[in-house]
């Protein structure tokens, strides 16, 4: 830490300014290190002094700190200035769909009739909340053409769990409990194999390195690897468009083969932004799919959550989805009762899901409507193809386009001059932009996956491609050292992740 | 179309650069049959005004807790949230950031996660905590799976009255793991079976009764099982002894800073002993230094996680409840040592007042003498708890509590509950029980 002394003309005192705050770059210590105040940052009513009826000793010293409200507000506002966000700039993180987050979503979710209702209130007192959920179920069913919708999963990975449990329950109910293998391409998100494993499935990997897509040949090889007709295959988990930004061109034929073998097609919905309002997954053979409301439908990412991952399934899987779902009987809405649908794979979360996110997502869908959502996928795909066209001479394109809503490059050309994908990412930070997704998918070396989304204008895309071209030129000119120092203008320099993992320090301790 | 900045001119120029004449040429690889003809069978776009009108009419159909006639808890609690909490979590830099994969430009998120972990560890009396999980129920399910990984055993034990939805979720997770099972022992430690991975103890339990842990610790040690304490009213830890004896403490922290919001998003938390950190599920933030030697924070221990380990990961979790963890952290910072203890004591005082008033009604008894902020009220014979709760809601707009069984209503008081509100409930209940 820098420290220097500032001499004041009037006195001989020397004052140490022992932090790094300069201009608007704030150095901010931990809350626990602030000066302790006599009273807390809340004023609560005075206690009457009732004696305890807990039957337990009363806790004495917790070891918490104590500061005033202005200190708390300043602390968190200063911390906030160290974050990059979609509101402050271009955020082309592949497979994450960092699109504009409309504030009306926030306003509506905070209406007291939504924010201050309890999940176990009598249903007659929450008909409006159930109507919101029922509307959302209908919108999702229509947009996917998958009529069975369960809103309870809390995030994408949780939706995957819901979907794979649904598949497992279906096989068990249909006397196919022996089906214990899940086919997963090597380009899949890590959550796919992790989820299948949590549901007791063995993973069989479909290689896609050659083409960036699942080919019929590679699929057959995986499907029939045991020399039979796919007897033990429970299903496949494929993201479509896939994580290379490509639509799986052979999907129709692959799905037919899978269905003939009695397997189900789980489609990871992370990339639904390429299709929404224009193409329906239920019409290209998908049996079950999760939707990330925090991606496609603009509920904020919030620095890593809360998300929401409803699943949508084809008619034949409807009996097996988690409970509860919202039902409409006449004009009344109600939740499914515990155990009402015996074939359900069960309860996956407390209560009914991330209702606050359901409100936000429905608000967003209504804002765009059928006409706007179609435009969303078209602009998202056009924006990605535009970036691909602008950068294809500067960066190696592993698989030829057109791409869908994201485009994939590798570090191949830059590596020749010792510049890696990580260096390029840190270079983008230096130029005031959030990097793309790096080193994913794993099927190419040094992947750079760029998803611009539809909420960027051509100007924003042009500035990004200019910076990318400049970084490519610097790499070509052998200015390698410069890259290794990036970023120099961000709130911190590159962080030592090895130290963090080897000597884990996960909390503040009073020393 | 207010969220779409591209102009028609820009679209035309871009199509030209790409080398196609219209946008549909970019979708040529998609099977024809999958395209929606025209557009989806849904309403067209609407302005803010129309949407607010529609959503407000939905919201107004619900009875919300601001009515001063609200006494429901059962795992989700209505507490006051200081104004600065919502102000801070709505700052763009927090609200619209992603998971902090690029730590140089995400120190804001990372530092508050580190502070969140510190708060959770301090409050629960545990050595370490993670950066949050979806909710209390899934946090308990993850604790069960982790205990099975650590002990290499395959059954879990519900030691006392645990939130029924939590046990349901645990059972859903177990049903998908060949050879695993669960069983209940109704507070009788002598019934813990050999080969048990962990014993879950909820405190206060589902009926509101606080529990001690010493005896459970002893029996768990004899059986080689882990002790997992489940907390779903975290405010109670401002008054009750921390579960230091536990190996894992998990549960729900919605009470601090997060709205009830009809069941989510809430805030699962997860704390444990340091020796288990490499078995912990979910995201973890750790301290380190940058290239200049300056203190900073990163997501760490990622070798446990799905994006590295894939099918061998400790859990499939990717997203956590970041913004809810921020709300908790801001609220806890404001409360501090004295405020947190005072908040807990206030909750208890209100519950004492509630108890005194309600037990003055003829025929009403308490299931447990001891409680924190929620009591289990037993009705006179022949009265059905579900019917009474429904009747009070429909006739007087009173959300009286949760009918835990035919005869019992769980009734909660928090710092928000007023004397007037308690009187309203007392009079209404007295009337209905006549």
- List of domains in chain B: 65-81+337-432 (3.90.1150.10), 84-330 (3.40.640.10)
Whether residue A448 is found in the same domain as residue A315 = no
Q: Would you state the pLDDT for residue A12?
A: 46
Segment A18-37 mean pLDDT: 91
Residue B362: closest CA among B411, B434, B419, B422:
B434
Tens digit of pLDDT for each residue in A417-440? 999 999 999 999 999 999 999 999
The rounded percent of chain A whose pLDDT value lies above 70 is: 97
Whether residue A117 is found in the same domain as residue A208 = yes
Tens digit of pLDDT for each residue in A237-246? 999 999 999 9
Whether residue A493 is found in the same domain as residue A350 = no
Report how far apart the first and last C-alpha atoms of chain B are (Å, whole number).
59
Burial class (CB in 10 A: 0-12, 13-18, 19+), A502: exposed
Whether residue A232 is found in the same domain as residue A205 = yes
Q: Six-digit token pair at A478?
A: 């052998």
Q: Would you state the pLDDT for residue B177?
A: 87
User: In chain A, which residues have their Cβ closer than 8 Å to the Cβ of B72?
Assistant: 118, 120-121
A100–B3 C-beta distance less than 8 A: yes
Answer yes or no: is pLDDT of A10 > 80.
no
User: Quick one: closest CA in A to B338, which residue?
Assistant: A40
B349–A50 C-beta distance less than 8 A: yes
In a domain, A87, yes or no: no
Q: Would you state the pLDDT for residue B408?
A: 98
Residue B101: closest CA among A38, A388, A174, A91:
A91
Whether residue A321 is found in the same domain as residue A388 = no
In a domain, A137, yes or no: yes
Tens digit of pLDDT for each residue in A106-144? 999 999 999 999 999 999 999 999 999 999 999 999 999
Whether residue A215 is found in the same domain as residue A334 = yes
Whether residue A389 is found in the same domain as residue A327 = no
pLDDT band at A16 (very low <50, low <70, confident <90, very high): low
Whether B310 and chain A come into contact, CB under 8 Å, resolves to yes
User: Quick one: closest CA in B to A456, which residue?
Assistant: B5
Whether B390 and chain A come into contact, CB under 8 Å, resolves to yes
Whether residue A230 is found in the same domain as residue A318 = yes
pLDDT band at A5 (very low <50, low <70, confident <90, very high): very low
User: Quick one: closest CA in A to B211, which residue?
Assistant: A56
Exposure string over B302-319, b if 16+ CB within 10 A, otherwise e: bebbbbebbbebbbbbbb
As beta bridge partners, residue B290 has A495
In a domain, A57, yes or no: no
Q: Answer left, alpha or beta for residue B67, where phi above 0 means left and psi between -120 and 50 means alpha.
A: alpha
Residue A383: closest CA among A300, A435, A450:
A450
* Residue A3 lies in domain: 1-35
Mark which of A366, A382, A408 sits at the end of a domain. Answer: A366
B296–A492 C-beta distance less than 8 A: yes
A500–B287 C-beta distance less than 8 A: yes
Whether B374 and chain A come into contact, CB under 8 Å, resolves to no
B26–A504 C-beta distance less than 8 A: no
In a domain, A506, yes or no: no
In a domain, A127, yes or no: yes
CATH code of the domain covering residue A394: 3.90.1150.10
Whether residue A305 is found in the same domain as residue A383 = no
- What lies within 8 Å, CB to CB, of A329 at 6+ separation is none
Whether B152 and chain A come into contact, CB under 8 Å, resolves to no
- CA distances from residue A171 to A180, A184, A234, A264, A317 in whole angstroms, order as listed: 10, 18, 8, 9, 10
Please provide the size of chain A in residues: 511
ipTM, interface predicted TM-score of the complex: 0.97
The answer to whether the bond into A327 is cis (omega within 30° of 0) is: no
Q: 3-class secondary structure for B78-90?
A: CCCCCHHHHHHHC
Tens digit of pLDDT for each residue in A202-229? 999 999 998 999 999 999 999 999 888 9
Q: Would you state the pLDDT for residue B318?
A: 76
Whether residue A301 is found in the same domain as residue A409 = no
In a domain, A62, yes or no: no
CATH code of the domain covering residue A359: 3.40.640.10
A62–B337 C-beta distance less than 8 A: yes
Segment A63-84 mean pLDDT: 97
In a domain, A43, yes or no: no
Mark which of A366, A399, A419 sits at the end of a domain. Answer: A366
Please state, as a whole number, how many other Cβ atoms lie within 10 Å of the Cβ of residue A71. 17
Q: Are strands A288-290 and A264-268 parallel, antiparallel or unpaired?
A: parallel
Beta-carbon-side half-sphere exposure of residue B208 (alpha carbons within 13 Å): 33
Segment A464-480 mean pLDDT: 97
Whether residue A193 is found in the same domain as residue A283 = yes
Cα gap A296→A298, rounded to integer Å: 6
What is the DSSP annotation of A89-113? S---BTTT------HHHHHHHTSHH
| A428 sits in which H/E element | helix A421-430
What is the DSSP secondary structure assignment for residue B133, as one 8-state letter?
B
Question: Chain B 215-234, CB below 8 Å of chain A: which residues?
Answer: none
Whether residue A222 is found in the same domain as residue A352 = yes
Total domains in the fold of chain A: 3
Q: Six-digit token pair at B66?
A: 């601001």
User: Quick one: closest CA in B to A132, which residue?
Assistant: B58
In a domain, A28, yes or no: yes
Contact A168, A218 (CB under 8 A): no
Mark which of A338, A366, A394 sits at the end of a domain. Answer: A366
Residues in chain B predicted with pLDDT less than 50, given as ranges, are none
Tens digit of pLDDT for each residue in A158-205? 999 999 999 999 999 999 999 999 999 999 999 999 999 999 999 999
Segment A345-352 mean pLDDT: 95
Tens digit of pLDDT for each residue in A393-420? 999 999 998 999 999 999 999 999 999 9
């Amino acid at each position: 830490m820098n420290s220097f002394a500032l001499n004041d003309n009037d006195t001989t005192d020397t004052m140490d300014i022992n932090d790094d705050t300069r201009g608007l770059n704030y150095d901010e210590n931990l809350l626990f290190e602030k000066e302790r105040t006599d009273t807390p940052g809340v004023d609560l009513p005075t206690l009457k002094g009732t004696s305890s009826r807990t039957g337990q000793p009363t806790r004495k010293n917790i070891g918490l700190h104590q500061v005033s409200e202005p200190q708390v507000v300043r602390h968190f506002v200063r911390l906030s200035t160290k974050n990059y966000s979609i509101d402050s700039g271009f955020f082309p993180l592949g497979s994450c769909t960092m699109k504009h987050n409309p504030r009306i979503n926030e306003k509506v979710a905070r209406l007291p009739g939504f924010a201050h209702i309890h999940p176990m209130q009598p249903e007659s007192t929450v008909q409006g909340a159930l109507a919101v959920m029922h509307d959302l179920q209908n919108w999702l069913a229509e947009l996917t053409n998958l009529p069975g919708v369960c809103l309870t999963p809390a995030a994408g990975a949780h939706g995957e769990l819901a979907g794979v449990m649904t598949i497992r329950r279906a096989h068990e109910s249909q006397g196919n409990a022996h089906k214990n293998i899940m086919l997963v391409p090597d380009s899949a998100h890590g959550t796919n194999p992790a989820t299948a494993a949590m549901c007791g499935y063995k993973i069989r990997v479909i290689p896609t390195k050659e083409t960036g897509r699942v080919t019929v040949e590679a699929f057959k090889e995986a499907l029939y690897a045991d020399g039979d007709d796919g007897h033990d295959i429970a299903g496949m988990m494929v993201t479509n468009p896939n994580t290379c930004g490509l639509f799986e061109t052979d999907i129709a034929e692959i799905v037919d083969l899978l269905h003939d073998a009695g397997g189900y097609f789980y489609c990871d919905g992370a990339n639904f932004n390429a299709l929404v309002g224009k193409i329906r997954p239920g019409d290209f053979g998908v049996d079950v799919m999760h939707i990330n409301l925090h991606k496609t439908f603009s509920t904020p990412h919030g620095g890593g959550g809360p998300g929401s991952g409803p699943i949508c399934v084809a008619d034949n899987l409807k009996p097996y989805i988690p409970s509860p779902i919202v039902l409409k009987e006449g004009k009344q809405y109600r939740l499914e009762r515990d155990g009402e649908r015996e074939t359900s794979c069960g309860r996956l979360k407390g209560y009914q899901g991330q209702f606050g996110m359901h409100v936000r997502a429905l608000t967003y869908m209504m804002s765009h409507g059928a006409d706007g959502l179609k435009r969303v996928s078209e602009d998202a795909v056009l924006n990605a193809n535009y970036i691909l066209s602008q950068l294809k001479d500067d960066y190696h394109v592993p698989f030829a386009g057109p791409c869908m809503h994201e485009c994939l490059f590798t570090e191949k050309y830059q590596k020749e001059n010792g510049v890696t994908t990580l260096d390029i990412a840190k270079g983008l930070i230096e130029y005031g932009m959030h990097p793309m997704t790096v080193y994913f998918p794993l099927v190419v070396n040094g992947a750079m996956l760029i998803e611009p989304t539809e909420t960027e204008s051509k100007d924003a895309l042009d500035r990004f491609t200019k910076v990318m071209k400049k970084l490519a030129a610097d790499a070509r000119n052998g200015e390698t050292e410069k890259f290794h120092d990036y970023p120099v203008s961000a709130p911190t320099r590159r962080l030592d992740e090895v130290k963090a993992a080897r000597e884990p320090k996960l909390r503040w301790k009073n020393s | 179309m207010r969220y779409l900045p591209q102009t028609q001119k820009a679209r035309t120029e871009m199509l030209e650069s790409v080398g196609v004449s219209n946008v549909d040429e970019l979708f040529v690889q998609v099977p024809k049959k999958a395209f929606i003809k025209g557009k989806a069978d849904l309403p067209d776009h609407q302005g803010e005004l129309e949407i607010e009108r529609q959503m407000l009419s939905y919201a107004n159909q619900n009875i919300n807790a601001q009515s001063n006639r609200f006494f429901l808890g059962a795992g989700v609690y209505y507490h006051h949230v200081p104004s600065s909490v919502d102000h801070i979590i709505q700052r763009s830099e927090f609200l619209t950031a992603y998971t902090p994969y690029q730590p140089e430009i995400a120190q804001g998120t990372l530092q508050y996660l580190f502070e969140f972990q510190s708060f959770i560890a301090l409050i629960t009396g545990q050595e370490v905590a993670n950066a949050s999980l979806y909710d209390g129920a899934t946090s308990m399910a993850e604790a069960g799976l982790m205990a099975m990984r650590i002990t290499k055993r395959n059954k879990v034990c519900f030691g006392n009255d645990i939130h029924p939805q939590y046990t349901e979720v645990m059972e859903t997770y177990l049903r998908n793991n060949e050879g695993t099972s669960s069983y209940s022992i109704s507070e009788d430690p002598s019934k813990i079976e050999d080969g048990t991975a962990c014993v879950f103890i909820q405190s206060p339990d589902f009926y509101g009764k606080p529990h001690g842990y010493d005896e459970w610790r002893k029996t768990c040690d004899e059986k080689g099982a882990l002790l997992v304490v489940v907390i779903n009213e975290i405010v109670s830890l401002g008054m009750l002894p921390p579960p230091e004896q536990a190996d894992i403490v998990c549960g729900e922290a919605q009470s601090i800073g997060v709205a009830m919001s009809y069941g989510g998003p809430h805030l699962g938390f997860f704390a444990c002993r340091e020796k288990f950190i490499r078995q912990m599920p979910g995201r973890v933030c750790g301290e380190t230094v940058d290239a200049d030697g300056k203190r900073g924070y990163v997501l760490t221990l990622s070798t446990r996680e799905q994006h590295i380990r894939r099918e061998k990961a400790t859990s499939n979790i990717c997203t956590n409840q970041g913004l809810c963890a921020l709300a908790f952290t801001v609220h806890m910072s404001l409360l501090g040592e004295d405020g947190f203890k005072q908040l807990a004591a206030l909750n208890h005082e209100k519950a004492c007042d509630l108890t005194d008033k309600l037990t003055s009604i003829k025929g009403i008894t308490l299931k447990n003498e001891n409680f924190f902020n929620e009591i289990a009220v037993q009705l006179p014979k022949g009265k059905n708890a579900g019917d009474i709760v429904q009747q009070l809601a429909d006739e007087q707009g009173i959300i009286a509590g949760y009918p835990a069984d035919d005869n019992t209503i769980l009734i909660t008081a928090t710092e928000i509950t007023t004397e007037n509100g308690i009187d309203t409930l007392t009079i209404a209940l007295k009337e209905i029980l006549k």
